[in-house]
Amino acid sequence: MTSGMKNIVILISGAGSNMQAIAKAAEQERWAKTLSARIACVISNKPQAPGLAAARDLGIATQIVDHQQYASREHFDAALQLAIDACQPHLVVLAGFMRILTPGFVAHYEGRLVNIHPSLLPAFAGLNTYQRALDAGCKVAGATVHRVTADLDHGPIIAQAVVPVMPQDTARMLAARILVQEHLMYPKAVRALLSD
Ligand code: GRF
């Protein structure tokens, strides 16, 4: 491991488009030089997550910690923690990582663990955020980067991006509009956290 480097570990479960946005920013903005930071590893709990191949294509090391191979949430989190800690992380970035984390895991990474959630928290924690925003008649929606605490989707807010809700919106249309903003916001937020 390069000494003095701030290692970023990114956890994904799916497409990993936020991970790719962060990787692209790291490359284009030369984070290795400007921030002494690098993405050390991308870890997925899903062996088939398309984001894994995307990470490999970007030359980033990948690992799989398949939650289905573990008897309990505690066992899975312990294995995940081992895999993450092997990378000596300065920052652990949840990017579409669809697992509820145990309080012990969250405590272990206190101050180093961030998440992106596709709603304007504290509204619409949990799943189906787009449809819930539409059903409520929201005129704006968006995404939030926040510190992770044991309270699901309720940690201190780091950044938010707001988009308009259009009269004809479907959940899919709203999700796509929000995702564009996520890809701009998350790399910026990670960069700011690395500069602190
Ligand atoms: C994003 O909408 C993120 O806010 C949510 O899950 C989605 C992940 O997308 N937590 P991707 O895997 O980064 O493409």
- Decide: 153 in ligand 1 pocket, CB within 6 A: no
The answer on pLDDT for 196 being more than 60 is: yes
CATH fold of 6-195: Rossmann fold (3.40.50)
Give 177's contacts (C-beta < 8 A, 6+ positions apart): 163
- Give pLDDT, residue 11: 98
Task: Identify the residue whose C-alpha is closest to ligand 1 atom 6.
Answer: 96
For residue 117, indicate whether it is catalytic.
Answer: yes
d(CA 152, CA 9): 20
- Decide: 142 in ligand 1 pocket, CB within 6 A: no
Which residue from 104, 119, 91, 189 is spatially nearest to 149, judged by alpha carbons?
104
Question: Checking DSSP bridges between strand 89-94 and strand 6-12, what pairing results, if any?
Answer: parallel
Amino acid, single-letter form, for residue 48: Q
Interval between CA 124 and ligand 1 midpoint (Å): 15
pLDDT digits (tens, 9 = 90+) for 84-116: 999 999 999 999 999 999 999 999 999 999 999
pTM of the model: 0.96
Which residue from 159, 155, 148, 161 is spatially nearest to 190, judged by alpha carbons?
159
Name the average pLDDT for the chain. 96
pLDDT digits (tens, 9 = 90+) for 16-38: 999 999 999 999 999 999 999 99
- Give pLDDT, residue 3: 62
Q: Report the atom number in ligand 1 closest to the C-alpha of 17.
A: 14
- Decide: 141 in ligand 1 pocket, CB within 6 A: no
- Give pLDDT, residue 151: 86
Dihedral class, residue 42 (left if φ above 0, else alpha if ψ from -120 to 50, else beta): beta
- Decide: 183 in ligand 1 pocket, CB within 6 A: no
Binned at pLDDT 50, 70 and 90, residue 77 comes out as very high
Which of 117, 146, 154, 183 is an active site residue? 117
Sheet containing 37-44: give its strands across.
Answer: 62-64, 37-44, 6-12, 89-94, 113-117, 140-147, 157-164
Which residue from 143, 129, 186 is spatially nearest to 10, judged by alpha carbons?
186
d(CA 148, CA 195): 19
d(CA 96, CA 135): 23
